Amino acid sequence: MNQIALGSEGFKIEDILQIADGAKVSLSEDEVFRKKLTASRDFLDHKLDQGDRVYGVTTGFGDSCTVNIEKDLLKQLPIHITRYHSCGMGDIFNKKETRAIQAVRLASLGKGFSAVSIELLDSITRQINADIQPRIPKEGSVGASGDLTPLAYMASTLIGEGKCFHQGELHETKELYEKLDLPSYELKPKEGLALMNGTAVMTALACLAYERAERLADFSCKITAMNLMAMRGNAFHFDEDLFVAKPHPGQMLAAKNIRDELQNYDCGQKDKRLQDRYSLRCAPHVIGVLYDMLPSFRSMIEVELNSANDNPLVIADKEKILHGGNFYGGHIAFVMDSMKNLVANIADLLDRQLALLVDPKFNDSLPANLSGSEGRNKVLNHGFKAVQISVSAWTAEALKLTMPASVFSRSTECHNQDKVSMGTIAARDCIRVLELSEQVLAANALASVQALDLRHKAGQLNPEHCSELIKNLMTEIRSFSDFLEEDRGLEEDMRTFLAKLDQGVFRV
């Protein structure tokens, strides 16, 4: 894979995704970029030599900012913040998520306002490139002062403490560094706070969520087209002129995507009902809202990604040390709360489509539950009956999680952090909603292929009436999921689908 260089231009979402998938990282040799980094660090050191008070450097943290730290203790202070914040709980972030977190923190510190040394940035890049990921529990951040607790684990591994993963195996960091002959990093004043006091976790998850949401929207158009064909519905619901009359760009894109999948389709029924049910007819209006919001989501995510979001900031060229609240994750919280709402709506759309598809009262003469069984054993077989129940469960759970996390601010840390973003909780919710919605997508994909095969077998749909896009997709799905004639467990088929979806196999 390409090597991603951090420099003056910063990162895009796609850069974070590549690093998350294994791309290596480097620091640009650009002179302006490196001078800015050095100047910020040098200016802070100069102020410390003068005896100036700087929050989190010569004082305690948070509400303890009134506590002064003696000069001979300054080097110990950043180690203490990494240790006492190592109190996370819950599941552990996976490798892809953790690499994204490392990359996002690197991007923020590389803006040159955090007064960290180039050696610290080198240490982060060395850790990423050596395939070392800190073991980070998911729970414990309120999203301001940023992701303190989860990022404490990243800081801990840099100084040779805590636990980390290397090539999938969990190690004591100190022992792994000795084994690999890697140096641990000695934090300079402010660097512990700089590593931890920011929005890297929520922003990393937002980058990953963005890609998955976009992919979900694209694939939902495919599934809608297949379900429409399976139920011998009306293609004119997606006529271009209909959407020109209500020209939301995302809605028009969704309709076009569905039209592209329906090339050559003819329902073959002169007396077909004029209007299909809403979950088919209004699919572009549901999927299109997500399409329309994706550019705004990208803009907010990438501004956050390329921001200096710790506290205080050191503006060397203006000789300022500014204490503020750039660690507040309100924009990412809003994006994640909004995205999970739109994604769950698509899950609900697909859930309704599947409910129609398996029900002989609504599926236009398809077998009940899409069972392919014939003969004497037909009465024993139940096809996709239980899958539809599971899809309803996944959809209900996704819908339940759409309550916005950002409105649940809590006052913490002696009321110093008395208004917080909850951005990381919103991001974790969004990732979970995406997981559930992708499961709905997987089940629906298998069911729609089954339904189309049943139509073909019954002579009710000419395979030539399927577009090349749909034929290719059906071939790919049938390569790992056979036609369902006799009942069998479909868990592994769905898991295989999800793995291929994550690998980008189905993208065209």
- Asked if 115 and 44 touch (Cβ cutoff 8 Å), the reply is yes
DSSP code per residue over 73-127: GTTTHHHHHHHHT---EEEEP-HHHHHHHHHHHHHHHTTS-S---HHHHHHHHHH
Location of structure tokens 């990423």:
128
Report the largest interatomic distance among the alpha carbons of the chain, rounded to a whole angstrom. 92
- Asked if 327 and 199 touch (Cβ cutoff 8 Å), the reply is yes
Query: Which of the following is catalytic: 55, 210, 265, 291?
Result: 55
Helix (H, G, I), strand (E, B) or coil at 5: strand
DSSP state of 138: E
- Asked if 487 and 380 touch (Cβ cutoff 8 Å), the reply is yes
Q: What are phi and psi of 16, to 5 degrees?
A: -65, -40
CA distance 424 to 75: 30
DSSP code per residue over 319-351: TEEE---TT--HHHHHHHHHHHHHHHHHHHHHH
Instruction: Calculate the CA 464 to chain-centre distance.
Output: 37
Helix (H, G, I), strand (E, B) or coil at 318: helix
Query: Taking Cα atoms as reference points, which of 312, 425, 384 lies closest to residue 58?
Result: 312
Q: Is 355 buried (19+), middle (13-18) or exposed (0-12) by CB count in 10 A?
A: middle
163-166/132-134 β-pairing: antiparallel
CA distance 91 to 96: 14
Number of H-type helices and E-type strands within the chain:
18, 9
CA distance 21 to 386: 35
CA distance 255 to 439: 23
Helix (H, G, I), strand (E, B) or coil at 166: strand
55 is catalytic: yes
Residues carrying an active site annotation:
55
